[in-house]
Structure formats: structure tokens, C-alpha cells
Amino acid sequence: MADDELYAALENVERTGDISGSHDPRSAVMRSRVEREHLATRDDESGRYVLTTTGRQRLMGRHAQRPRPRDVVTPFRRPVRSGS
């Protein structure tokens, strides 16, 4: 599934609270993908979808068009014990 469709679905969640306005099979697949990737979750009280932090970051990253910072791994070193 194209990323453009994914971003359109996230924008639709932001605006309307639903993944897609239609109930065709493609929308069901998109709902499944959005939930599987933890980009949005269903709020039982309001009956709407809401973006998760991950979904909001993905959507905002799309708009900013900036490169993502690389993860930095800090090596762990055990302290050196001097003779006991």
C-alpha cells in the first residue's frame, strides 16, 4: 500500500476521527495497517479514531520533510577494578 495513502488516512484521522469515509475493502485494509503500526487507536468513549504519538510524529515528519536524526548508541563499559 502506498505511503501517500497512509498519510492521507492519518490526515483524515486528524480532521474527522476516521481512517476513511468509505467502507470499502481498501479502507478496511488501511484501518488494519494503521492499528497494526500503532499510528491510531479507537477511542471507545467518543467512537472515533485518535492519533497516537507515533502517528502524530509520522504525520508531522511528512509535513516537515526533514531527515530523521539517526539513533545514537552509547557503548556500555564496565568500570575497571583495580586489584583487590
SS3 content of the chain, % helix, strand, coil (to 5): 45, 10, 45
* Predicted pLDDT at 36: 92
* Predicted pLDDT at 39: 92
Cell digits for 32?
488494519
- Taking only the tens of pLDDT, the chain with its 84 residues reads 478 888 888 999 999 888 877 677 888 888 889 999 999 998 889 889 999 999 998 888 765 555 555 666 666 777 777 765
Q: Which residues of 12-21 are buried (b: 16+ CB within 10 A; e: fewer)?
A: bbeeebbbbe
* Predicted pLDDT at 27: 84
Cβ-contact 7, 59 below 8 angstroms: yes
| Cα(35)–Cα(82) distance, integer angstroms | 53
* Predicted pLDDT at 18: 87
Domain ranges of the chain: 3-64
CATH number for the domain formed by residue range(s) 3-64? 1.10.10
